[in-house]
Amino acid sequence: MSGSGLWRRSRHAPMARLVGLEGKVVGTDADDEVIALAREDARTAKLDNVEFRRADAAMCQATEEYDLVYARFLLSHLSEPERCLEAMVRACNVKGALVLEDVDFSGSFCYPTCVAYDRYIQLYEHIVNRGGGDPNIGRKLPGMLRKMGAENVLVNVVQPTHLEGEGKLMASITMQRIAGAVISERLATESEVQQIITELNDAAADSETVMSLPRVFQVWGRRA
């Protein structure tokens, strides 16, 4: 079983528990820092059946090694997601499971309408597009997976939506993460970015405001 890409709250722990002591999970990410954090989390959780490797997911040469191959929030960042999918399918055993989760930012919403939220979505989409990625890749995944030779492909959509709590801060946190790129690409001035962050925090603090994360497409199938 392999998970391509992971972050602080990655899926390796639930997967490691699912496969039990007889199974093994391999988690990969291209970023050393992410791998170090995941190893630390696994140590803390006393998970002995999970291994982490720094790797470019599209370069994976594994052939029919895993019963399940999974990628979350990875393909939307890649300029050639098909290459990564191809590597995932190759790594999967025949009749093994291929599982993808990825975003569709175009379905994000805030109610009542918040100008700063709409601007944040626009800026995020722009930054991901400029990096060669696709912030709305989710809806394309069933077709892409079929094209790569998967059968019995199914799809589900979930959209975490918040009135309060940590999830409601994701827009502001993400805006802070892309602030440097937004300013250096002259998409907005430093003061406009600061204003957007302040207004996103204000909207998050208002318990009357309903704020969503992007829609998440969950797509799965079997290697033919």
Residue 30 sits in the site that holds ligand SAM (CB under 6 A): yes
SS3 107: helix
**If we measure between CA atoms, which residue out of 67, 63, 57 comes closest to residue 27?**
57
Whether 105 and 39 have beta carbons less than 8 Å apart is answered as no
What number of chain residues touch ligand SAM (CB under 6 A)?
16
Q: How far apart are the C-alpha atoms of 32 and 34, rounded to whole Å?
A: 5
Within positions 2 to 21, which residues make up the interface with ligand SAM, using CB under 6 A? 5-7, 10
| CB closer to ligand SAM out of 199 and 217 | 217
Binding mask 67-86 for ligand SAM (x = CB under 6 A): -----xxx--xx--------
User: Alpha carbon of 35 to those of 88, 91, 203: distances in Å?
Assistant: 19, 20, 33
Candidate list 29, 41, 102, 199; residue touching ligand SAM; CB under 6 A: 29
Q: Which stretch binds ligand SAM (CB under 6 A): 28-36, 110-118, 123-131, 158-166?
A: 28-36
| Closest-CA residue to 199 (of 123, 113, 110, 114) | 114
Contact with ligand SAM (CB under 6 A) among 58, 92, 121, 171: 58
Among the listed residues 105, 116, 109, the one whose alpha carbon sits nearest the alpha carbon of residue 203: 116
By beta-carbon proximity to ligand SAM, the closer residue of 2 and 209 is 2
In the list 19, 49, 56, 93, the residue contacting ligand SAM (rule: CB under 6 A) is 56
Sheet of 92-104, strand order = 50-54, 25-29, 2-4, 66-72, 92-104, 215-223, 150-158
Q: Give the nearest distance from C-beta 5 to ligand SAM in angstroms.
A: 3
Which residue, among 71, 42, 76, has the nearest Cα to 57 in the 3D structure? Answer: 71
Site string for ligand SAM, 34-53 (x = CB under 6 A): x-------------------
Shortest distance in whole angstroms from residue 152 CB to ligand SAM: 24
Largest CA distance in the chain: 55
What are the residues binding ligand SAM (CB under 6 A)? 5-7, 10, 29-31, 34, 56-58, 72-74, 77-78
